[in-house]
Amino acid sequence: MSIENVSRRNFLGGVFSAGALVLAARILPEEALADTNEYHGKAASAALRPSIYLGVEPDGTVYIVTHRSEMGTGIRTTLPLVAADELDADWSKVKIEQGIGDKRYGDQNTDGSKSIRGFFVAFREAGASARTMLVQAAAAQWGVSASECKAQLHVVTHTPSGRKLSYGELAQAAGKLPVPKPEALQFKPKSEWRYIGKESQIADLADICTGKAVFGMDVKRPGMLYASVERPPVMGGSVQSMDDKAALQVRGVKQTASIDPFKPPYTFQPLGGVAVIADSTWAAFQGRKKLKIEWNNGANASHDSEQYKKELLETARKPGKVVRNIGDVDAAFAKGGKIVDAEYYVPLLAHATMEPPVALAEFRDGKVEAWVPTQNPQAVQDTVAGALGIKPEDVTCHVTLLGGGFGRKSKPDYVAEAAILSKKTGKPIKLVWSREDDLRFDYYHAVAGMYHKAAMDDKGKTTAWLHRSVFPSISSMNDASSMYGFNVEYGMGLNDMPFDIPNHRAENGPAKAHVRIGWLRSVANIYHVFSGLSFADELAHAAGRDPLEYQLELIGNGRIIDFKSQGVADYWNYGESYEKFPFDTARLRKVLEIAGEKSGWGKRKPGNGWGIGVAASRSFTSYVASVVEVEVDKNGKIHIPRTWQVADVGMVINPDRVRSQFEGAAVMGASIALSGEISLSDGRVKQSNFNTYPVARMNQAPLRTDVHIVESSALPGGVGEPGVPPFVPAFANAVFAATGKRVRELPFSKHKLV
């Protein structure tokens, strides 16, 4: 990310020249610029703007832009903390601005646990650049050397004389200086960090607790109408005939409008259907119930989850596409010894964000302005533009707070629906998905069937391991003929299993998608790590060994895994360079060892309804071990009194938000393990609301989760997702320890434990 002095050029397509804008900001009343500021932000029009992410005004206010979306990770606060620290700003004088969708901010898809990984450096440089320029401006004013001046808490001090100038007093002069080259910047030493690694509170805390926080669901525009869409019940279906007479009789209903079905592949296009437009959300919902629609159901009308499960598991019994190979598993199996094998299955899962998808779009004069809880504002621009045949730059996407995301809100089909309806009606449209819509028309986390087979020598050492995985791929989103996964899905627990086994092969078998498939918090790790680490536990028991000790033995010595020599040509590595973020098994061993110590592993003998389980994995370049304790009562009901999450996520910016993400990951893991299942018959999703798609409630979630963050100076890794994958097998392993019952098919609610 290069930094340039944007005070010297138009910012984000503004109509003023930069000089005029600065001047205008001094002379014109605030209201005259309100529209401009709404689009471009106060950081952009500030006196000192060393980066598109930061501006300093003469009144001392520091504006920091968060171009990433806030869905609960705290990123809206955490990235600005990085810049504020390097600037040595007084946090009480920092105002956070939410960036609109704009490619000039760089990647805005708040996904893949990569906001800090991707933008730590840019925000640090933004703060350091501003600080350097302020110090230079002060030194020039005093006629002294910059090396005699120090910036501290919004004030530059000339150390020998004690003279002081505030950041605000220096902003204009500093704004006229050239922005230092990144390689010339000096960063603060760790000992002087004011915010990084320290306890901070999120900027929206008070607003959230008082109901003032603005989520997508809360936005309004003058003249706005509400819309609710009846979509084809089977993916790929379309309207055959429609009768809206009764719907139009409902009080408050204004009109109906059709939305065309998508053209395959499904991408981020709307599913199509019929919208009811009304003067309240309730009227739109009521009117929709009165629609009479005959559907063409298309090719997926006979899709049945039970049948599909059989097909996935049968396919997993057959050789597939090899995605990693070490040694020769077939030769090792032929030698005999103890053979262990098992099938695993994870059903489709829905995101079920607390705020269902919702979007407000206003089409006017060939342009669209949208207010959206989105993880991906640039995709909103592209998708809306594609749907209406306009240019992406003619779509302005304002990003609200998100009531949860988990990957669902990276896919802006719901914004395209709102924009299409706004164009058709000539009114601003707020389009609200019901919970039923959310669960029936999601981009589901893939269902997967897996087969594991291992051989063990007479000392109980695993000598060969075959891992086959079959799932409808996310690539079906962009390729209607997709039958296989791709390196992103392989790199999440299939071709990066960290075990040091002389013979190992990973394979991917073919499967066709019959619903929209998308990514959900930790993605393919969910099924790969559940099955892989459950099977590792099976091997430990087959060998008569302690599961924690056995997992450490499987991992082997600390080393950097050399994937290239193991037939993995295009190891994904979460989009990062392998040199900067190698797979280091020493770090994986360490989180496991600490998890053992913290949890008092081995001190109590499992059985009689009490058990403890462990699993560790690397994902999103971070290393996490989960230990889960369970109690299974005489009715087979599972309680989770305690869990430990030990995480090496590299350098930590905001420790409390790291802890909260791992606490939350344990709860989401519990939801996946206990009750998560979407299933279809006749091509239709059977679940409809939280009664049929239960998620963990307070009395089902872990009673207590202790998070231990490993001290690390490694580059920052992912935080939002890596806590989910190891939790699920650790839970399953604990249930096995408690009951002797090995559950290989999620969710646990389908199985009787006693």
Partner 1 sequence: MIKVKINGRERTFDGDPEMPLLWFLRDELDMTGTKFGCGAGLCGACTVHRNGEAIRSCTTAMKDVAGKTITTVEGLSANGDHPLQKAWMQANVPQCGYCQTGQIMHAAAFLKKNHHPTDDEIDAAMSGNICRCGTYQRIRAAIKTAAKEMA
Site residues, partner 1 (CB under 8 A): 70-74, 201-202, 204-206, 208-215, 217-218, 220, 226, 251-252, 280-283, 285-286, 352-356, 401-406, 432, 434-436, 656, 660-661, 663-668, 689-691, 695-705
SS3 per residue for 123-180: HHHHHHHHHHHHHHHHHHHHCCCHHHEEEECCEEEECCCCEEEEHHHHHHHHHCCCCC
The identity of residue 568, as a single letter, is V
497 vs 696 by CB, closer to partner 1: 696
Give how far the C-alpha of residue 287 lies from the chain's centroid of Cα atoms, to the nearest Å: 35
Least distance between partner 1 and beta carbon 349 (Å): 12
Least distance between partner 1 and beta carbon 439 (Å): 10
Least distance between partner 1 and beta carbon 195 (Å): 15
499 vs 693 by CB, closer to partner 1: 693
Q: Which single residue is written with the structure tokens 């004690």? A: 162
Cα–Cα dist 40/10, whole Å: 10
With contact defined as beta carbons under 8 Å apart, do 624 and 617 qualify?
Answer: yes
Least distance between partner 1 and beta carbon 100 (Å): 20
> Which backbone phi and psi does 635 adopt, to 5 degrees?
-95, 0
52 vs 730 by CB, closer to partner 1: 730
Least distance between partner 1 and beta carbon 115 (Å): 15
Least distance between partner 1 and beta carbon 701 (Å): 5
225 vs 477 by CB, closer to partner 1: 225
182 vs 655 by CB, closer to partner 1: 655
23 vs 354 by CB, closer to partner 1: 354
Cα–Cα dist 80/94, whole Å: 9
- Cis? peptide before 747, omega within 30° of 0: yes
Cα–Cα dist 293/233, whole Å: 11
Tokens standing for 521?
Answer: 């918090």
70 vs 553 by CB, closer to partner 1: 70
Give me the DSSP letters along 515-557.
S-B---TTTTHHHHHHHHHHHHHHHHHHTT--HHHHHHHHH-S
Least distance between partner 1 and beta carbon 142 (Å): 42
Give how far the C-alpha of residue 114 lies from the chain's centroid of Cα atoms, to the nearest Å: 8
Least distance between partner 1 and beta carbon 293 (Å): 21
Least distance between partner 1 and beta carbon 408 (Å): 11
Of residues 416, 346, 434, the one with CA closest to residue 379: 416
Dihedral through CA 675, CA 678, CA 679, CA 680, nearest 10? 160
> Which backbone phi and psi does 685 adopt, to 5 degrees?
-70, 130
Give me the DSSP letters along 653-683.
S-HHHHHHHHHHHHHHHHHHHHT--B-EETT
With contact defined as beta carbons under 8 Å apart, do 325 and 567 qualify?
Answer: yes
What beta strand segments (E) does 400-461 contain? 429-432, 448-456
282 vs 578 by CB, closer to partner 1: 282
Give 38's contacts (C-beta < 8 A, 6+ positions apart).
none
112 vs 236 by CB, closer to partner 1: 112
Least distance between partner 1 and beta carbon 441 (Å): 15
**3-state class of 325 per DSSP?**
strand
Least distance between partner 1 and beta carbon 402 (Å): 6
Least distance between partner 1 and beta carbon 588 (Å): 24
With contact defined as beta carbons under 8 Å apart, do 235 and 516 qualify?
Answer: yes
164 vs 212 by CB, closer to partner 1: 212
Tokens standing for 742?
Answer: 């090995």
503 vs 700 by CB, closer to partner 1: 700
Give me the DSSP letters along 689-729.
STTTS----TTTS-S-EEEEEPP--SPP---SSTTHHHHHH
Least distance between partner 1 and beta carbon 436 (Å): 8
Least distance between partner 1 and beta carbon 373 (Å): 9
Cα–Cα dist 470/453, whole Å: 15
573 vs 660 by CB, closer to partner 1: 660
What beta strand segments (E) does 171-291 contain? 225-230, 238-243, 253-259, 273-278
Cα–Cα dist 643/629, whole Å: 6
Cα–Cα dist 629/638, whole Å: 10
With contact defined as beta carbons under 8 Å apart, do 277 and 254 qualify?
Answer: yes
Least distance between partner 1 and beta carbon 690 (Å): 4
Cα–Cα dist 450/744, whole Å: 10
435 vs 598 by CB, closer to partner 1: 435
Q: How many CA atoms lie within 13 A of 725 on its CB side?
A: 30
591 vs 719 by CB, closer to partner 1: 719
Burial of 338 (0-12, 13-18, 19+ CB in 10 A): middle
279 vs 341 by CB, closer to partner 1: 279
Cα–Cα dist 91/42, whole Å: 17
217 vs 561 by CB, closer to partner 1: 217
Least distance between partner 1 and beta carbon 728 (Å): 14
Express the helix, strand and coil content of the chain in percent, nearest 5 each.
Answer: 35, 25, 40
Q: Which single residue is written with the structure tokens 């302020």? A: 134
Q: Which single residue is written with the structure tokens 């230079």? A: 136
Least distance between partner 1 and beta carbon 55 (Å): 27
269 vs 410 by CB, closer to partner 1: 410
24 vs 709 by CB, closer to partner 1: 709
Least distance between partner 1 and beta carbon 230 (Å): 15
